[in-house]
Amino acid sequence: MGIEILGLPMMYYIAMVAKVLVAFVFVLLTVAYATYAERKIIGHMQVRLGPMRTGWHGLLQPIADGVKLFFKEEIIPSQASKFAFLIAPLIALIPAFITFAVIPFGGIIEVAGYKIPLQIAAYFDTASGRVYDLNVGVLYILAMSSLGVYGIVLAGWASNSKYSLMGGLRASAQMISYELSAGLAIVSVFMLSQTLSLNEIVTQQSAFNGLGWYVFKQPLAAFMFFICSLAEINRTPFDLPEAETELVSGFCTEYSSMKYAMFFMAEYANMVTVCALTATLFLGGWNGPLATAIPLLGPVYFVAKVYFLMFVCMWIRATLPRYRYDQLMHLGWKVLLPLSLLNIVVTGIIGYFI
């Protein structure tokens, strides 16, 4: 491994490409099978069987759905604003995926004498013996999640249809109001961790045999962050932008074929991202008993936590009815926002005296 390109060893590039591929394929597969899992879980909760026909217990259903959507006719409304209409699904999909660049999904593993931290935007510096990652990781995630709203707003506006526009307007109002509380809930986490780097936030939760999670220190913040994130990605019970009973299908009413599939994928990719983020910030990331001793256990714990949170999302969807619009705004601005501010003040006071 003596070859160096631009002052970095060859292994650096191989490791980077490998990490990107693994994370990307993992998210894509999870997205595909999350749709299946959601239908199956909700089906069983409502005493139905869910998809059963395609493959054993419907296991091939996501692939069949993908093929079906791929071969459907693509319709662009004649009065639509073409450029924005075409680019909106991409803008919705990309922020959901690139957030994964900063989420650590494991500890440091050693391949052929080269230490690789299992986080895409990170490298191990042998000279100083520490991992360097994006030092504004949390801010990066907030920035990316604030971009997600563009896709939906554009889709709503560009379709030139009443339902789409209503859906787009609702979505943007909702996402802007809940982004605030989600951001403030994270603030209380980095008041404890005193860093914005996700790698260090995870490392600091490794106390008590890998169980020193922030959810025990900040239960309110964890709860609020999860609720606000659900609202921000428009999941039930906050899925007003695509409320079928009033808006047909909201912002994606006019979309068909692969573009519709892209919005669908963006929704589930957002769900994976939010669950991964909640696991990282509040549930100790890849930490767990013995995770530091056996490096390969890290990703296992991480994936288990993410899947558990995704199950909770689906559980909520099967259980709770949709909020009314004024209730949603009331909850966001008059309940969650003051609570998150209060949480910051209390954290500050306690942090000052301890």
Partner 1 sequence: METLFFAFITLVAIVSAILVITCKNPINSALSLVLTFFCLATYYVMLDAPFMAAVQVMVYAGAIMVLIVFTIMLLNIRVDATKAHSHKVVLGCIIGFFTLINIVILLMKSRVALPTGPYSGNMIKQIGHTELIGREMFTNFLLPFEITSILLLVAIVGAVILAKKKL
> Shortest approach of partner 1 to residue 85 CB, angstroms?
11
> Shortest approach of partner 1 to residue 139 CB, angstroms?
4
Going by DSSP bridges, is the β-strand pair 108-111/114-117 parallel, antiparallel, or unpaired?
antiparallel
Residue 317 phi, psi (nearest 5): -65, -40
> Shortest approach of partner 1 to residue 41 CB, angstroms?
33
157 near 168, Cβ under 8 Å? yes
Between 107 and 156, whose beta carbon lies closer to partner 1? 156
Between 132 and 307, whose beta carbon lies closer to partner 1? 132
> Shortest approach of partner 1 to residue 170 CB, angstroms?
12
Between 79 and 245, whose beta carbon lies closer to partner 1? 79
> Shortest approach of partner 1 to residue 274 CB, angstroms?
17
Given the rule CB under 8 A, which residues bind partner 1? 6, 81, 83-84, 87, 132, 134-136, 139-140, 142-144, 146-147, 149-150, 153-154, 156-158, 165, 168-169, 172, 176, 195-197
Distance, in Å, from the CA atom of 131 to the CA atom of 64, rounded to the nearest integer, reads 43
> Shortest approach of partner 1 to residue 140 CB, angstroms?
6
> Shortest approach of partner 1 to residue 157 CB, angstroms?
5
Please give, one letter per residue, the 3-state secondary structure of 314-329.
Answer: HHHHHHCCCCCHHHHH
310 near 275, Cβ under 8 Å? yes
Between 35 and 270, whose beta carbon lies closer to partner 1? 270
Show Cβ contacts of residue 13 under 8 Å, excluding neighbours closer than 6 positions.
5
- Buried b / exposed e over 320-349, threshold 16 CB at 10 Å, is eebbeeeebeebbeeebbebbeebbeebee
Between 134 and 281, whose beta carbon lies closer to partner 1? 134
> Shortest approach of partner 1 to residue 168 CB, angstroms?
7
Angle, vertex CA 4, rays to CA 197 and CA 108, nearest 5:
35
Query: What's the Cα-to-Cα distance from 57 to each of 7, 34, 36, 37, 311, rounded to whole Å?
Result: 52, 15, 10, 11, 19
DSSP H helices in the chain: 10-45, 61-71, 82-98, 137-158, 162-193, 198-204, 207-210, 214-217, 219-232, 244-247, 257-282, 297-319, 325-330, 337-353
Show Cβ contacts of residue 300 under 8 Å, excluding neighbours closer than 6 positions.
none
Between 81 and 249, whose beta carbon lies closer to partner 1? 81
306 near 278, Cβ under 8 Å? no
Between 38 and 179, whose beta carbon lies closer to partner 1? 179
Between 14 and 84, whose beta carbon lies closer to partner 1? 84
Between 65 and 254, whose beta carbon lies closer to partner 1? 254
* Paired residues of 102 in beta bridges: none
Distance, in Å, from the CA atom of 155 to the CA atom of 89, rounded to the nearest integer, reads 7
